[in-house]
Amino acid sequence: MDTSDFRKPELMAPAGDMISLRAALNAGADAVYFGVVSMNMRASAKNFTADEMPGIAQLCHEYGAKAYLAMNTIIYDKELALAEELVKEAAAAGIDAVICWDFAILDLTMRHGIKAFISTQMSIANSAALVFLYRNFGVKRFVLARECTLEEIISIRGNLTTQLGEEAARIELEVFAHGAMCVSVSGRCFMSQIAFNQSANRGECRQPCRREYEIRDVRDGKEFLLGQDYVMSPRDLCTLPFLEKLLDAGIDSLKIEGRGRSPEYVSTATACYRELIDFYVEHKAQSDFTAQLDLLKERLMKRLDAVFHRGFSEGFYFGRQIGEWTGGNGSKATHRKVYIGLVTNFFKKVMVAEIKVEGAGFAQGDELMFQGSTTGVLSQRAETIEEAFKPVLMAEKNSLVGVKLEHVVRENDQVYIMVPVDQIENARQ
């Protein structure tokens, strides 16, 4: 690829609450997407209120990032007035775009002067659909169907140029780069609705597909356990091992899934993809680029492996047949976070955090993780620990200790350590 024609893609990160929003921005996200109470595909996330949208937009813009409101559920007739109010408030707040797939929301965005991005829920998988929506509704950003292969994405980009000429450069292609995948077509599943009366298409999915099941022969009473391969529960998408192929394909935005996941997941995933994208742009022309890229990927994959995931998959990028299942319920992460306690004070002049140790203790040299709505996610090694102004090697449970830091944290920030899974029980004692 001629790097002079290369367009550096936007890196978009999820935010289910203010801590994750800060974590995403601090980790280098170019854009953040979030939901407001309802009408988004992560109703179980903490989400935000409409009143918080001006502050979200301002904070993102201070970081030089964009703020996108997800309104990507189906909309019922009785909700149209609320939908219009949310779109109006988003436009007034300075939100940069609304992610949607219901034509009622698309109409509202056009009437209230805010950009619309077509969600993957619409399953756009060909250039003709993009051209139709661009010409008739002015849509310029499309989150392609999850089932599109890399070859098909390249074809879509080429066909857009054929059909639109220079105008094709106005259209942006967005794809998922990392996070959970649903076994159904672009996530449009009815299993949760049938089992729990909570619709996945309303962001309420209870994920019954990811569980272990017993079946019974009604004639003879024989019972079987289904769960060895969890054939309705795909592994998580991870494109980092082949990210350069997506970059070369002319993708405009890479999206990380995970508004329902932890702040440390958001921070780690965003930081890893940020580092690889930047490395690609800055070092592509170097003679030893491939070898250095491989080493970087190896290091970053170890970081991704430490936070929540269900195992990793290439998704559909290299073909639509996929047989990569979770093999069990829950996270496959190599580490878990263990609660330490709270920051009760921060002495800025000497850069020392006072920590009330309420959970597990920690030792000198341990990596501490601070989380708070202003701090976001911050990790630092405890180089020194003091108790009652005397150095100690260990902070015991129920103690009050001071730890010198390089960055500011805040009162009431929560403190954790990341512990290898096989050491969890010992850490909690």
Cα separation of the two ends of the chain: 55
Instruction: Provide the phi-psi class of 121: left if phi over 0, else alpha when psi is between -120 and 50, else beta.
Output: alpha
Identify the DSSP state of 348: T
Q: Is residue 360 included in any domain, yes or no?
A: yes
Residue pair 271/307 in contact by the 8 Å Cβ criterion = no
Pull the structure tokens for residue 425: 């029980």
pLDDT of residue 225: 65
CA proximity to 346, closest of 303, 418, 402: 402
Please check whether residues 83 and 176 belong to one and the same domain. yes
Domain enclosing residue 18, as ranges: 3-183+234-313
Please check whether residues 342 and 307 belong to one and the same domain. no
Q: Is residue 222 included in any domain, yes or no?
A: no
Q: How far apart are CA 400 and CA 357, in angstroms?
A: 6
Q: How far apart are CA 131 and CA 146, in angstroms?
A: 19
Residue 335, judged by CB atoms within 10 A of its CB (0-12, 13-18, 19+), counts as: buried
Q: Is residue 271 included in any domain, yes or no?
A: yes
Q: How far apart are CA 42 and CA 16, in angstroms?
A: 8
Q: How far apart are CA 226 and CA 271, in angstroms?
A: 37
Please check whether residues 275 and 424 belong to one and the same domain. no
Please check whether residues 256 and 405 belong to one and the same domain. no
Please check whether residues 304 and 339 belong to one and the same domain. no
Higher pLDDT pick, 86 / 180:
86
Contacts for 237 with CB less than 8 Å, ≥ 6 apart: 176, 177, 178, 179, 180, 181, 257, 312, 313, 314, 315
Q: CB 221: neighbour CB atoms within 10 A?
A: 7
pLDDT at 365 over 50: yes
Please check whether residues 103 and 14 belong to one and the same domain. yes
Residues facing residue 214 across a β-bridge: 225
Q: Is residue 324 included in any domain, yes or no?
A: no
Please check whether residues 362 and 250 belong to one and the same domain. no
Residue pair 168/141 in contact by the 8 Å Cβ criterion = no
* Residue-wise pLDDT tens digits, 283-337: 998 989 999 999 999 999 999 999 988 888 998 899 876 667 676 677 888 899 9
pLDDT at 1 over 50: no
226 alpha-carbon distance from chain centroid: 30
At 44 the three-state DSSP class reads coil
Q: What is the CATH number of the domain that holds 93?
A: 3.20.20.70
pLDDT band at 264 (very low <50, low <70, confident <90, very high): very high
The percent of residues above 70 in pLDDT, for the chain, comes to: 87
* CA distances from residue 416 to 138, 331, 362, 379 in whole angstroms, order as listed: 47, 18, 9, 9
| pTM (predicted TM-score) | 0.86
